[in-house]
Amino acid sequence: MKYCCLVILSCLFFFSLEAREVKISVIPSTAKIYIDGNYVADGVTTASLKKRDGFIVVKFVEDGYVTLETKIFASDKRSAVAYTLRRDAFYDVTVASGIVNKYFAVKVSKDLYSEDQSGKRNTELAWKMIHQVILNYFDEIQTTDLASGFIQTPWQYKTFSEIQILTRTRVSVKESNLGGDLTFQIKISSEAAPLLGVNQDESFREINRIVKEFEPLISEFQIRLGK
**Average pLDDT for residues 154-175, to the nearest whole number?**
91
52-74 pLDDT per residue, tens: 778 999 999 998 898 999 999 98
Residue type, 76: D
CATH fold match for the domains 2-87 and 92-225: no
**Distances in Å between the alpha carbon of 89 and those of 34, 86, 93, 146, 222?**
23, 9, 6, 39, 29
Q: Are 154 and 140 in contact (CB under 8 A)?
A: yes
Domain boundaries, the chain: 2-87, 92-225
Provide the pLDDT for residue 26. 97
Measured CA to CA, the distance from residue 223 to residue 227 in angstroms comes to 8
Residue type, 220: E
Tell me if the pTM is above 0.75.
no
Measured CA to CA, the distance from residue 17 to residue 20 in angstroms comes to 9
Identify the architecture of domain 92-225 in CATH.
2-Layer Sandwich (3.30)
Lowest-confidence pick of 11-25, 50-64, 73-87, 198-212:
11-25
109-137 pLDDT per residue, tens: 989 998 887 778 889 999 999 999 999 99
- Within 109-208, strands assigned E span 114-115, 121-122, 143-145, 150-152, 156-160, 165-178, 181-194, 205-206
Class of domain 2-87: mainly beta
Provide the pLDDT for residue 184. 94
Provide the pLDDT for residue 18. 62
% of the chain residues with pLDDT over 90:
60
Torsion of CA 221, 108, 144, 103, to 10 degrees: 60
Measured CA to CA, the distance from residue 98 to residue 121 in angstroms comes to 32
